[in-house]
Structure 1
Amino acid sequence: MRTEPQPAPYRPAPEILGLADWLGDPVEPARFPKHIVRFRNDRWADAVGLGGMDDAGWAKHFAGFEPLDDNLQKPLALKYHGHQFRTYNPELGDGRGFLYAQLRDAAGRLLDLGTKGSGRTPYSRTADGRLTLKGAVREILATEMLEALGVDTSKTFSVVETGEELHRGDEPSPTRSAVMVRLSHGHIRIGTFQRLAALQEAEHMEALIAYCLEQFPGSQPPDDAPGRGDPAIVLMHQVVERCADLAAAWMVAGFVHGVLNTDNINISGESFDYGPWRFAPQWDPGFTAAYFDHQSLYAFGRQPEAMHWNCGQLAVALRLLTEAPPLIAALDRFVPLFEAAMQRRWCWRLGVRSAGAEADMHLLEQSVAEMRAEQISPDAFFFRHRGGRDAEGALAEALVDHQTLPGASDGSFWQGEPPSLHIEEVEALWAPIAERDDWQPLFQKINAIRALGAVLRS
């Protein structure tokens, strides 16, 4: 659960240039008829030294894509393959986005500025490379709420309305257009490794592994892990750890990403690329976000399975460089890591201290039983019983050994109902923008979500 972003000077760090010749293609951004700045994430802009821009400078860089000082001089559309609903597709890549710049934050983390809706690339196929304004607003809401709930997520950095009319089959058309910039801890995907494996580019895969281990440092494999000195094995362990934690974070947040294809899984373990997402109205493992997910492959309760499967595809790709048994040993850690992360994150959101694995798992099981019996959402459950308050029966018994975190149950946690983002609320926030260009309800919701995040982190 990350802390608030800390102000930092601008520190350009275009580390990707060492891989650029084979990792992506330089592209030209689209030219838009209008640049209307609609959203700027100033607290994260401050964290990478870009908070001092006026709106004219903001539009110049984040809609016109004039290069930042000492950074990438031309945007880079990244290449990758991927399994889409478990069918392999080699014709992927950044089709409506690109890597625009890389910078470091106050902690020295490498962060990417990547785009969505910035125009056609060699990987656009038949698409127009654009983004609807509603899609951008939905991504703002998803990233803000997930950040507040302790999920490691990309940040919506900028949204600029671009003045084009777009036609889409899944919303009323023509609809308004936008270009979005996200701040993310890297854009290297499992699908990036799959492409290198498919093309048998062993030297490039070695270079990419070295880049990932340097730029996204993590823990070392357990002392008894086979092959723990092999860089490919080290990376495999780190990705398994991160993906297990991310799957748990989504579950505790009551969140359904919707499209967990291997090209949408960042090896840094950061959630990103939000399309048909939903927050679950009840604890229903079968709840599905994407209308096109006909088999409910990525339903709420199947997200851990999907992440485990995706990690398995990384293991298959890494077989280009190493043997299978150490990769399988790393993959076998997923389930216990996921269970531990669920317990840890469950206690955190409920506002109680861990009482050990057995007691924490019992608490989790009783909590789910309570939600399902009462037919309430995770949001409502965690608020109603934060710090153990108002718990009765089996839930109260499960909480006996769990000490309350300071301030979690004394009434100062939140005045009134905390913000939630179920589909009806999202549509209600979009309506005033669509009907009368009224952005105030959206900004009020963002402020409430950020206030909730500050309370949960305190």
Structure 2
Amino acid sequence: MPYSTAYRAATRHQELGPDFYDAVQPAKFPEHILRYRNHYWAERVGLGSLTDEEWIEHFGRFTPLAGSFEQPLALRYHGHQFRTYNPHLGDGRGFLFAQLQDVEDGRLLDLGTKGSGQTPWSRRADGRLTLKGGMREILATEMLEALGVETSKTFSLIETGEELDRGDEPSPTRSSVLVRLSHSHIRIGTFQRLLYLDDKDNIRKLLDYTIRTYMPEAWREDEAARAAAFLEEVCRRVARMGAQWMTAGFVHGVLNTDNINVTGESFDYGPWRFLPVYDPAFTAAYFDETGLYAFGRQPDTLLWNLFRLAECLLPLAEQSSLEQALAAFEPALHREFAGAILRRLGLQSRGFEQDGALAKALWTFLHETKAPFEQTFFDWYGGLASLERAGQSPSAGLYAQAAFEPVRACLEDFAAAPQMRLDHPYFSRTEPCTMLIEEVEALWAPIAGSDDWSALLGKLADIRLMAEAYGVER
């Protein structure tokens, strides 16, 4: 068996039973060209010793992993899409392929797919993923992980040799199948489907399974108290995710309820963008014509989605207790936002009041001056210890303006965090690693034109250098 001693297979999701999924067959692809494998996470879950051919066998042809599911499971869920309820969703081009136990922290991890073929929920779609879409997901997950956002990990990308027709990019275009590693695939929409079906027993079953599997600290003997504690914990986790997005300058693009995971882990990257400068109205999806999911509206949108989760729990708990649980979101968001700002700046906390004052001053500066978003965090990593370095920045003139004085005054109260490393080679440069849309298109162009992947590989190396400099724990 080509697995290491770190390999721990699981089949926990099957405990929910066939009301929650459909066993499916993966597509058969004409070609299998390995384009990306996540070496770090492969080692961590005990699959690093697979040869490339063995890797393709599991993650291109989907031969089952030993001890996990004998057949992939297409998960059932509904959801609000741009606030219109859709009862015809579900895994339409993906499935839950396997589950693994992370031996380092004990978490249950899912291996889920994208582009693996049609399922009962495909709704006449082809069940495929474009190669460009797969490349974009690699870039999103690698960049977010480096910036400290709790995100799914792109585990594998294999080009599959088909030509796909798409209305939103030049066609025909190349095809791929992607595998993601995620903490769970239980979505707000998973609960919504059961409410739509008026299936109280399965709402209870899903609630209890989710608490026992992912958040045992929320367990209460009383059912109503259990539902409220679960909702409060989800609110805290989703608030943390939202705060991390905001401080990374990230716009998810499609914040439908089926794209919000109850464990608070960012996943499922279709249209996404990073801000060039602070702009609350900045959107990622060309079809978001009203700006519903704009950068500045993400926290409110997440809370709206959490209200939809609360509705699903009304068969089990009183409205008043669920409203009290929902009230945990806003203070958690503020607390997590200030903490994420400090982590991005490599500074030690001075308590919520002072942390919040620094976060507010920096956010105001970014808003008023339209200073380059990522450049600002890069320049002031380490706080005033980077005063001289910031003076060499392309943004140095902005820091000399009166608008920056409140930030400078706040920084005087903060010391660098113990893990902060300004001696890292990453900080010897004058500009940070960024991931703006123009860069993404420039990385795709040589792949599309001449199958040249060197620019993408160079970018991934640069992202990992940044992650190392920031001391991000994977």
Aligned residue in 2 for 1:17: 14
Once residues 176 and 218 of structure 2 are traced to their aligned partners in structure 1, the CA distance between those partners, rounded to angstroms, is 42
Q: Does the residue aligned with 1:298 lie in a helix, a strand or coil?
A: coil
Provide the secondary structure at the position in 1 that maps to 2:414: coil
Inter-partner Cα distance in structure 1 for 2:347 and 2:5: 33
Q: Deviations over 1:117-167 (max 9, x none)?
A: 001111110211000000000000000011111111000000000000001
Give unmatched runs, 5+ long, in structure 1.
1-6
In the TM superposition, residue 13 of structure 1 has moved relative to its aligned partner by 0.7
> 2:313 is matched with which residue: 311, 318, 334?
318
The residue number in structure 2 matching 1:395 is 407
**For 1:21-420, what aligned pairs fall within 5 Å after superposition?**
21-106=18-103, 107-217=105-215, 219-220=217-218, 230-388=225-383, 389-390=386-387, 393-406=405-418, 408=420, 410-412=422-424, 414-416=427-429, 417-420=431-434
Whether contact under 8 Å (1:8, 1:105) holds in the other structure is: no
Kindly provide the amino acid, as one letter, of the partner of residue 435 in structure 1. G
CA distance in 2, matches of 1:218, 1:290: 37
Task: Report the AA paired with residue 439 of structure 2.
Answer: E
Identity among equivalent positions (%) equals: 52
Report the secondary structure of 2:300's partner residue.
helix
Corresponding letter in the other structure for 2:10? A
* Partners of 1:218 and 1:238 within 8 A in 2: no
**For 1:38, what is the secondary structure of its paired residue?**
strand
- SS of the residue corresponding to residue 386 of structure 1 reads coil
CA spacing shift, 1:367–1:409, aligned 2, 3 Å: farther
Distance 1:295 1:456, change over 3 A: same
Change (3 A) 1:55 1:454: same
Which one is further off, 183-192 or 386-395? Answer: 386-395
1:428 aligned to 2:423?
Answer: no
* Cα separation, 1, equivalents of 2:237 and 2:422: 34
Q: Decide whether aligned partners of structure 1 residues 239 and 104 sit closer, same or farther in structure 2, where only a CA change above 3 A counts.
A: same
Q: Is the 8 A contact 1:200 1:320 kept in 2?
A: no
Superposed displacement of residue 407, structure 1: 6.6
Structure 2 CA distance for partners of 1:451 and 1:20, relative to 1, 3 Å: farther
The residue type equivalent to 1:423 in the other structure is I
Give the distance between the partners of 1:372 and 1:77, measured in 2 at CA. 43
- Contact 1:386–1:409 (CA under 8 A) maintained in structure 2: no
Q: Deviations over 1:90-127 (max 9, x none)?
A: 11000000000001012221000000000111111021
Separation (CA, whole Å) in 2 of partners of 1:387 and 1:220: 36
Instruction: Output the CA distance in 2 between the equivalents of 1:173 and 1:21.
Output: 38
Q: Which amino acid aligns with 2:277?
A: Q
The alpha-carbon distance between structure 1 residues 103 and 146, as it changes in their structure 2 partners (threshold 3 A), is: same
- Alpha-carbon displacement from aligned partner over 1:377-413 (angstroms, at most 9, x marks no partner): 3211101111223365221112121112247474536
Q: Please tell me the root mean square deviation across aligned C-alpha atoms, in Å.
A: 1.8
* 1:438 equivalent in structure 2: 452
The aligned amino acid for 2:428 is Q
Distance in 2 between the 1:432 and 1:360 partners? 44
Work out whether residues 159 and 175 of structure 2, in 8 Å CA contact, stay in contact via their aligned partners in 1.
yes
> What is the TM-score normalised by the length of structure 1?
0.95
Quick one: which amino acid aligns to residue 200 of structure 2? A
SS of corresponding position for 1:383: helix
- Distance (whole Å) between structure 2 residues aligned to residue 11 and residue 192 of structure 1: 26
Contact 2:223 2:317 in 1 (8 A): no
Q: CA deviation at 1:358?
A: 2.1
Contact 2:156/2:180 (<8 A) preserved: yes
1:35, 1:59 within 8 Å by CA — same for their partners in 2?
yes
Number of positions where the alignment pairs a residue of Structure 1 with one of Structure 2: 449
Question: Is the 8 Å Cα contact of residues 420 and 471 (structure 2) preserved in structure 1?
Answer: no
- Report deviation, 1:228: 8.9
User: Structure 1 CA distance, aligned partners of 2:216 and 2:377?
Assistant: 30
Of 383-392 and 351-360, more deviation after overlay is shown by 383-392
- Residues 72 and 311 of structure 1: CA distance in aligned 2, closer, same or farther (over 3 Å): same
| In structure 1, C-alpha distance between the alignment counterparts of 2:149 and 2:330, rounded to whole Å | 19
Distance 2:187 2:461 in 1: 31
Change (3 A) 1:8 1:384: farther
Rounded to whole Å, the distance in 2 between the matches of 1:166 and 1:208 is 37
Query: Relative to 1, partners in 2 of residues 1:420 and 1:35: Cα closer, same or farther, differing over 3 Å?
Result: same
> Could you tell me the TM-score, scaled by structure 2's length?
0.91
Q: Which moved more, 1:208-217 or 1:159-168?
A: 208-217
Partner Cα separation in structure 2 for residue 206 and residue 123 of structure 1 = 24
d(CA) in 1 for partners of 2:292, 2:435: 23
Question: 2:391 corresponds to which residue?
Answer: none
User: Following TM superposition, by how much is the alpha carbon of 1:220 offset from its aligned partner in structure 2, in angstroms?
Assistant: 4.3
Look up the match of 1:4: none
- From 459, 463, 469, give the equivalent of 1:449: 463
Q: 96-105 or 18-27: which moved more?
A: 18-27
